[in-house]
Amino acid sequence: MVSTRTPGSPAEGNPHAGQPFSDDDAAIAAALEDVSVPALLCSLVHLTGDPSWIRSGLRPVLSMLNDYQCGMTPEAKAEARRNALPAIAAFRDGGCVLPPPPSNELVHEMMSFLAAAPVPTDVVPMFLEDLHLDGSDGGAVTWGAEIAPDARAAAHVVVIGCGEAGLLAGIRLRQAGIPFTVVEKNAGPGGTWWDNRYPGARVDIGSHFYCYSFEPADHWTEYFSQHTELRAYFDRVMRKYGVDEHCRFRTEVTAANFDDATGRWSVHLRNDDGSTEVLDARAVISAVGALNQPNLPVLEGAESFAGPSFHSARWDHSVDYRGKNLALIGAGASGFQIAPTVADEVATLTVFQRTAQWVFPNANYHRQVPDGDRWAMRHLPFYGRWFRFLTFYPGAGLTIENSRIDPDFDDSDGLAINERNLMTRGIFSQWMVDQLGDREDLVAKVIPNYPVTAKRMLQDNGSWLAGLRKPNVELVRTEIERIVEDGIVTTDGTFYPADIICYATGFRHNDYLWPMEITGRQGVVLRDQWGHEPTAYLGITIPNFPNLFCLYGPGTNLAHGGSLIFQSECQMSYVMDALHELFAHGHQTLEPKPEVHDAYSDRYQSEIAQMVWAHWSVTHSHYKNPDGRIFTLSPWPIPQYWSWTKAVDPDDYVFT
């Protein structure tokens, strides 16, 4: 397997094999100071063909999310760097020629080396696919003559949305030679990263994993990129793969109707100028996201507020907040990024937080990728791939059992769901207390009274609590009673002056595909079928809605690891297999058998109800529906979902 570069050939053809370099020893030594030493040691195995790099005492101590050095001591790292320099110099002097690639067994050993523990054999194929060590895109679609050109030509697919998932759908459909249109209401690609431009908006999955697996990732300037860089990334990828030619921006899908007679969809569009239009489609892929439609709370007097007010995902950049009194309502993942970013620029910042949030430490959260690490990603063979593995593995959901409620654990105080969860509460609470020093008033406000991980976890390098400590910042945990012309009044009668209000109040997570009107077979309306309980087989296909596929659909949001881009790659691989099944066998439509869908939904409910996110102590959570049940999150280990979405089982479907 593994390398398209034959021994003795130059570094060509494999985008992950590293670009040849001629830097002098001093420059290389300087770069090595910036790298992840564990990933470097794996790269050296490729570069020298010698597995002893990962068989010495210089090895990772533990695999922990966002610790790129895996607990190695400074001495061990220094020695590894010293050893690496002559090997890299020799590689350079030899013309950057790679030896034969490592065997699959050795690659597995490298995974276990970075994981600091044996990686179970059954999950190796998933990581192997994600690593793309052979330089090919394993998910690339290569349909053959089994699908006649006229069948492809008649197979127009409409993709709704051009965020990361819609863009991926475009890439795969183009590879398959299927005519398609991506309809996007925004003026450009990026989805959530197009919408969310608030100060401080950045991703909180490591950027080297929060990107397409098949694309090199040596360009990121921060370990956790900000919205501008993410937008630029999606724009670049869109153009590179020629998806832009198929995109209709500033166009909104308002409805989609399935026609029983023709077996095709009519997709209703509203253009930017208000005109309407209907597209005919053989299949529809919804890639509209799940955290997309702002949730604006109903607060008494909101309309009486005299100053500007806006939702965090609709940040009004024409409003100059500097020197003003800013009221921030909501402090989940968005508000918690906004507060520390604007704190020094506003006169006062009042943060109204209904529920305290768990935050865990991440020293790399605001860190630039140093030049040396970027050099290594660009030049050291497969270093970037192993860095990706390092980012993926600890968050691969292999520890999902930690999220399960222990029925024998006394959770009557609502503070923890099992012993480990209780221990984690202690660690995270102490970390917060340590940052707050003498501010006991804040300690009482910021430590949540529900189990760790039960709501969306936040991570930070200390910016959030440092922001709250500032003299012009106040954290208010008392409920809002009403909004008045010049501020906000809480239920204890306190008035907080405000010139501007930002509603960082989240999204309508449970209202999948809203506000589109989707009508399926025999006039079934999707919203009626779902009510408050949206379900889809594997989160992708829905009975009564033939040839409709959801990306990031019900039950697929991730709270236990992975990345939504990885999740989309799984789902798109499944969707393409479903389309192949349709076209290759001359079927008109497919939809999941009701019994298959129902059995999956039952299994889903029984599983999710045992997990921390469903815990009774969590009263406010966008994961829960109005009845307190969960239809949003995936309870499945990530490798399991990966294997379920590898291929469609025709027995699960009704074909016409």
Interaction site with ligand NAP (CB under 6 A):
202-204, 291, 297, 312, 329-335, 353-355, 456, 504-507, 620, 622
* Shortest Å distance, C-beta 225 to ligand NAP: 10
Question: Which residue has the closest beta carbon to ligand NAP?
Answer: 332
* Shortest Å distance, C-beta 106 to ligand NAP: 35
Nearer to ligand NAP, 353 or 453 (CB): 353
* Shortest Å distance, C-beta 67 to ligand NAP: 19
Select from 166, 192, 205 the least CA-distant residue to 293: 192
Q: Assess whether the previous peptide bond of 515 is cis (omega < 30° from 0).
A: yes
Select from 572, 565, 543, 538 the least CA-distant residue to 553: 538
Residues 229, 106: Cα–Cα separation, whole Å: 35
Select from 148, 149, 27, 49 the least CA-distant residue to 94: 49
* Shortest Å distance, C-beta 297 to ligand NAP: 3
Task: List strand residue ranges (DSSP E) for 395-471, in order.
Answer: 458-460
Distances 507 to 138, 419, 479 between C-alpha atoms, Å: 34, 32, 20
Residue whose pair of structure tokens reads 């564990």 in the numeric block: 38
Residues 139, 162: Cα–Cα separation, whole Å: 19
Question: How many CA atoms within 13 Å lie on the side-chain side of 323?
Answer: 1
Nearer to ligand NAP, 375 or 552 (CB): 552
Nearer to ligand NAP, 43 or 453 (CB): 453
Ordered DSSP codes for 343-373: TTTSSEEEEE-SS---EEE-TTTTPBPPHHH
* Shortest Å distance, C-beta 260 to ligand NAP: 37
Nearer to ligand NAP, 505 or 510 (CB): 505
Q: Could you count the other beta carbons within 10 Å of the beta carbon of residue 221?
A: 11
Nearer to ligand NAP, 242 or 297 (CB): 297
* Shortest Å distance, C-beta 271 to ligand NAP: 29
Nearer to ligand NAP, 214 or 552 (CB): 552
* Shortest Å distance, C-beta 254 to ligand NAP: 24
* Shortest Å distance, C-beta 336 to ligand NAP: 7
* Shortest Å distance, C-beta 211 to ligand NAP: 14
Nearer to ligand NAP, 491 or 656 (CB): 491
Rg for the chain, CA atoms, rounded: 26
- DSSP 3-state of 77: helix
Q: What is the DSSP letter of 100?
A: S
Q: Assess whether the previous peptide bond of 451 is cis (omega < 30° from 0).
A: no
Question: How many CA atoms within 13 Å lie on the side-chain side of 453?
Answer: 24
Nearer to ligand NAP, 353 or 535 (CB): 353
Nearer to ligand NAP, 182 or 504 (CB): 504
Select from 347, 292, 355, 360 the least CA-distant residue to 329: 355
- DSSP 3-state of 500: strand
* Shortest Å distance, C-beta 329 to ligand NAP: 6
Distances 629 to 333, 450, 623 between C-alpha atoms, Å: 21, 17, 8
* Shortest Å distance, C-beta 563 to ligand NAP: 10
Nearer to ligand NAP, 383 or 450 (CB): 450
- Which runs of consecutive H residues, i.e. helices, occur in 70-162? 74-93, 104-115, 124-131, 149-153
Ordered DSSP codes for 8-19: TS-S-S-TTS--
* Shortest Å distance, C-beta 553 to ligand NAP: 15
Residues 312, 195: Cα–Cα separation, whole Å: 9
- DSSP 3-state of 585: coil
Q: What is the DSSP letter of 7?
A: T
Residues 6+ apart with CB under 8 A from 236: none
* Shortest Å distance, C-beta 192 to ligand NAP: 7
User: For residue 233, with 0-12 CB atoms within 10 Å meaning exposed, 13-18 middle and 19 or more buried, which class applies?
Assistant: buried
Measure the CA dihedral 633/637/642/647, to 10°: -80
- Give the strand pairing for 458-460 and 473-476: unpaired
φ, ψ (nearest 5 deg) of residue 386: -75, -30
Residues 6+ apart with CB under 8 A from 468: 339, 351, 442, 446, 475
* Shortest Å distance, C-beta 611 to ligand NAP: 16
φ, ψ (nearest 5 deg) of residue 577: -65, -40
Structure tokens at 44: 């050296």
Nearer to ligand NAP, 129 or 481 (CB): 481
* Shortest Å distance, C-beta 506 to ligand NAP: 3
* Shortest Å distance, C-beta 444 to ligand NAP: 17
Nearer to ligand NAP, 332 or 467 (CB): 332
Residues 389, 375: Cα–Cα separation, whole Å: 18
φ, ψ (nearest 5 deg) of residue 256: -145, 130
Nearer to ligand NAP, 131 or 329 (CB): 329
Nearer to ligand NAP, 227 or 379 (CB): 227
